[in-house]
Amino acid sequence: MTVTIYHNPACGTSRNVLALIRNSGEEPAVIEYLKTPPSRAELATLIARIGVPVRDVLRRKETPYDELRLDDPALLDDALLDAMMAHPILINRPIVVTADAVRLCRPSETVLDMLPPQRAAFSKEDGEAVVDANGRLIAKHAP
């Protein structure tokens, strides 16, 4: 299986998703999108494959979202994509890509149904248990 993660190592959710991918036995291609952002066409394709409006992939917290007034409903997708290209920090993360799916993995356990079974117990950085010792999702995280 080929897995790619658009990753920000400063983001706890992104680090947890990367760890869950590795806990499944996969070694993903890691793209630190702040250093190597996707092209505009790649980003538009990723968002289309996620199946959500462009606006749903905008990150608001700790970004120039408010300064750029991106909450203006009159802004069309092209303007939002332009803003994300000019300020990659506006791209919410992590985005995980497999042959079958593309997903914005927030919360981190969203990635689990894209992967082979977990190989071991897993807890998030904050200590919250997600997967038990048998590789099964802990009930409170079940869909």
pLDDT(105) > 90 = yes
Residue 105 designated active-site = no
Quote the CA–CA distance of 131 and 109 in Å, as a whole number. 9
- 32 DSSP β-pair partners: 7
- Amino acid letter at 94? P
Overall residue count recorded for the chain in this entry: 143
pLDDT(85) > 90 = yes
Q: Is residue 48 part of a domain?
A: no
Quote the CA–CA distance of 29 and 13 in Å, as a whole number. 17
Q: Which tens digits make up the pLDDT trace of 23-60?
A: 999 999 999 999 999 999 999 999 999 999 999 999 99
Residue among 3, 5, 11, 84 flagged as catalytic: 11
Give the count of domains, the chain. 1
Predicted pLDDT at 42: 97
> End-to-end CA distance of the chain, in Å?
23
Q: 26 phi and psi, to 5 degrees?
A: -90, 145
Domain range spanning residue 113? 1-33+93-143
Q: CATH number for the domain including 26?
A: 3.40.30.10
